[in-house]
A and B are shown apart, each in its own frame.
Chain A
Amino acid sequence: NAGVTQTPKFQVLKTGQSMTLQCAQDMNHEYMSWYRQDPGMGLRLIHYSVGAGITDQGEVPNGYNVSRSTTEDFPLRLLSAAPSQTSVYFCASSADRGGFNEQFFGPGTRLTVL
């Protein structure tokens, strides 16, 4: 199993550009999430999904869109990049095991917006 994969690893954008961060998992997990981590900070939840076709907002959803058309994939779209979106983005997935919840994280995408 590859676990949780993210592409690209690094990305530089100009203000106003749009792009999609890819996330895929091969563990058949129902739940997937996107977090951002700014320097010296913890992770903040952007959006999450509890299954294909179901998404919801987290703590910092503004400026980001998500969709979940398959169990495996959960892309994060930046609509119009801003310097404030410079961050490291982590995708995570987990399975529902009746209360036990271990999230598996991807390696992250380091995004710089100029």
Chain B
Amino acid sequence: LAKTTQPISMDSYEGQEVNITCSHNNIATNDYITWYQQFPSQGPRFIIQGYKTKVTNEVASLFIPADRKSSTLSLPRVSLSDTAVYYCLVGAPYGGSQGNLIFGKGTKLSVKP
């Protein structure tokens, strides 16, 4: 399973755009890239998933270069409520080679007023 590397922590201010980059050099052809958000004392919550190029939803954008060895989660105009840990996962969805996704330690984002 592909391992991921992300910054341990990031700081930002309200209203700024935040970009969190994840490295996954040994990503496999069948692997997808998925990001989750976790608040203290809660289970993770799905943010976005993509395979290549760019994916956008109402919460975030995910940028994936052609070689797919990294990806960037972009959070537009963050607020205090975006303070959380963000996890980048790489793996095949269920039904694929192993059917599970590996969580790393994540990036702790702190948004300040």
Contacts and interface: CB of A to CB of B under 8 A. Distances in A.
B95 interface: yes
Contacts of A42: 87, 103-106
Interface string B66-86: 000000000000000000000
A86 to B, nearest CB: 16
A103 B51 contact: no
Contacts of B13: none
B43 A101 contact: no
Nearest to A90: B43
A96 B93 CA distance: 8
B26 to A, nearest CB: 17
Interface string B17-47: 0000000000000001010100001111110
A interface, size bucket: 20 to 34
A26 interface: no
Given A100-B49, A101-B32, A101-B94, A106 B43 contact: yes
B49 A108 contact: no
Given A41-B105, A43-B103, A48-B100, A102 B43 contact: no
Interface of B: 32, 34, 36, 41-46, 49, 51, 87, 93-95, 99-106
Given A31-B99, A99-B51, A100-B93, 17 more contacts: A30-B94, A35-B103, A40-B105, A43-B44, A43-B103, A48-B99, A48-B100, A50-B94, A50-B99, A59-B102, A101-B32, A101-B93, A101-B94, A102-B34, A103-B36, A103-B44, A107-B42
Interface of A: 4, 30-31, 33, 35, 40-45, 48, 50, 56, 58-59, 90, 92, 94, 96, 99-108
